[in-house]
Structure 1
């Protein structure tokens, strides 16, 4: 069962400059940074607020590691902006299977490693009214508290 909006993923050409914009304009601080080689991105997580289920809502900034990565190709085609929306769930596998049974293509056969120790999968945008959709099971709160990453 989807419990919240986990994050909005934003593709950007310069992660540091984009993070500075969000800090200066909205007061959002970078909570965590990491390089995800498998996804081909350098990313920053900006925490917006906590939620009742122990998770939080985030802005995820994504800078491609190279032009041939999925985000690099997307950025070249679309320019900077919203890349995807992610919904939090206690069980990414169960919700992926529910989506699959509803006729939605799930992009990974098994969940992969996501930000801050999370487990993720994506749903095909053509089956989700044009929106690349991510399902996220967050790491336990204690694991996230200690994950500065920067």
Structure 2
């Protein structure tokens, strides 16, 4: 049996400067510092909550996945992320079951986490992400 927990919900926004204050007011907490994730060409600010974080995502390049998402679908929920203990084992198991993967191997994401995405064509149009802290 695989242990997964809801880690965060990623929300694509056009402007962190405009969006962060709204989410800070809603949740009555300060967002974390801005982090640039080079591999995804995205700026990230997290709203840390007790059971699940909100990850606000702003594309930094017109070709970034977030910029393309906003161009096609507008701002809104981009992905749902699940924390796992063995990301590669989970990717192998899920891929072997016939679910399409965007990433067959984990890449580095925000907070230096290992991340990988499942293809939404296999998950009822929901972009799902698996995350695992790196072991140092």
Aligning the two structures, in what range does the TM-score lie when normalised by the shorter sequence?
over 0.9
Give 1:15's aligned residue. 16
Larger proportion of strand: 1
Partner SS state of residue 131, structure 1: coil
* CA positional deviation for 1:104: 0.9
Give the unaligned 5+ runs of structure 2: none
* CA positional deviation for 1:139: 4.6
Give 2:43's aligned residue. 42
Give 1:84's aligned residue. 79
* 2:99–2:118 Cα contact (<8 Å) kept: yes
Q: Give the 5 Å matches for 1:112-123.
A: 112-123=107-118
Q: Give the 5 Å matches for 1:1-150.
A: 1-49=2-50, 57-139=52-134
TM-score by length of 1: 0.84
Structure 1: 4+ residue segments shifted above 2 A = none
Give the unaligned 5+ runs of structure 1: 51-56, 144-150
* 2:46–2:56 Cα contact (<8 Å) kept: yes
CA RMSD of aligned residues (A): 1.6
User: For the residues of structure 1 that align with 2:124 and 2:111, how far apart are their CA atoms?
Assistant: 28
User: For the residues of structure 2 that align with 1:2 and 1:96, how far apart are their CA atoms?
Assistant: 13
**Cα distance change, pair 137–32 in 1 and its aligned pair in 2 (3 A):** farther
